[in-house]
Amino acid sequence: MAKFKSGKVSEREKREPKQSAKDKKQDPPVKQSLPEQSSTVNYASSEKVKPSQNWLLFKSQLPKSSVKPHFTKRPKLEAKPGATRPTNKVSNNVTEIVAIDCEMVGGGDSGRDNILARVSVVNKYNEVLYDTFVKPREQVTDYRTQYSGVRESDLQNGVEFLEAQKKVASLIDNKTLVGHDVKNDLKVLFLGHPRNKIRDTVKYKPFKQLKSGKPSLKFLAEKILGVKIQTGEHNSVEDAKAAMSLYMMHQKAWERLRKEKKEPRDKPANKGRLRRNWERANKSK
């Protein structure tokens, strides 16, 4: 059965105003959607983005400067005289491991005799401990500048040989000495060093297996360290740091290999010899 509304008006209907039929039929407002913008930017596209009008207006109001920017062109790096001069920044942190490298000039009639011209010593952190030119005690016939980076004026301002020799001897005393073909450096310094305290990158077996013959420091630095050195004039500090980096990178394996060589191998006992010694001892009694 259909239900009929009574003529009574509720209190709720009295409070709320009546809505007209037009208001009831009116649709809710539709939100206008903005055009979608891609969140990603294609940096590889060749299209140039035009600057905004605000930026152009702001740029036009800036005062013009007569100073040219310093980053217009990158200067070409070329080897120049004096670029490999000794450094004045010297550290006093003498570690238990040091690396040495020397630059030499030629003496004698043919210029084949090696004469000390520069010596550099660095610690295991690649901090320079000593770096100086050395006055030659013999007549120099070939400065080998294209390789050594040494010029006649450099040696005139160098220290005396005995002074450099004494300083280097105090730095390497009772230390593990690292270098590339160290015997040549010690020879021109007229110094010696215990054999068990030398770590030569020329004699390390894993390095020798990388190339037939004697591997150069330039080859090892590029192959293992990924660094190019000796591209022009040599720098003894740079070479000493390269040798030290090679040793520190392989220090654990290097020392383990040395320890295995030192350990005596178990040899079978010579029973015949032991018996003869025992018989001789009893006969004497």
What CATH number is attached to the domain comprising 236? 3.30.420.10
Tokens at residue 249, please?
């990178």
Tell me what percent of the residues of the chain surpass a pLDDT of 90.
Answer: 52
Query: Cα separation of 174 and 130, whole Å?
Result: 17
Predicted confidence at residue 13, as pLDDT, reads 61
The verdict on residue 164 lying in a domain is yes
Contact criterion met (CB below 8 Å) for 239 and 217: yes
- At 53, which helix (H) or strand (E)? helix 53-61
The whole-model pTM stands at 0.64
The verdict on residue 211 lying in a domain is yes
Asked whether the predicted pLDDT for residue 247 surpasses 60, the reply is yes
Predicted confidence at residue 162, as pLDDT, reads 96
Total count of domains within the chain: 1
Contact criterion met (CB below 8 Å) for 226 and 203: no
The residue length of the chain stands at 285
The verdict on residue 196 lying in a domain is yes
Tokens at residue 165, please?
């020799």
The verdict on residue 21 lying in a domain is no
